[in-house]
Amino acid sequence: MTDVLGFPVLAASALTQAIGFLYRRAEAVLDRRAESRSSPEPRPPETVPEVVVGDPGHMSDFEPGNVTDERAERLESLMEMLGLYAEHEHLVDGQDERLRRTLGRLRALLEEVYGRRITFVGEERPASGMRIVNKVVDVHGVSRALKARRVSSTANVDVEHTAEVVHPGAEMTSVEIEDLL
């Protein structure tokens, strides 16, 4: 069984990149929340390190409503724990279990906020990408988890679409794509 809060053992340089990436993402979330903006002004450029596998999306691509008070407190706490490593790279040790568990908790929290998976090199999990969860009780008409006109053939989307009851004449479609690029 995979530990959902686990984090891979990485070489110090790769782990340093992962720490910096997650730390900057957490800062972006908290900064945007503090500014109380529903949509960011200009999107600052972001360089995704090579240690990230797939497409984690842009750091400003999240719904501000996903950042509850409880999540913001957890983010602040995890950032406080990681701050020392973010500022002093020489302290980073890929074998440090406590550091890896803290990173695992931060990643899980950021995945909740962004609605995207964040995967690093060497992990046995799907690449970074969009995650869609659509759980319904009763479907009387049409229920779709994802409907898209154009999607890149390299897109990585994980869809979980469930219903307790699909009534006669109703339609439940998990993914509908018109054109695969």
Rounded to whole angstroms, what are the CA distances from 129 to 50, 70, 137, 155?
Answer: 15, 25, 26, 7
pLDDT in tens, 57-87: 888 888 888 899 999 999 999 999 888 888 8
pLDDT in tens, 101-152: 999 999 999 999 998 889 898 888 877 776 677 788 888 888 887 777 776 6
Rounded Cα–Cα distance for residues 146 and 41 (Å)? 27
Rounded Cα–Cα distance for residues 34 and 158 (Å)? 30
Backbone angles phi, psi at 115, to 5 degrees: 65, 30
CB count within 10 Å of CB 119 equals 22
Its pTM stands at 0.71
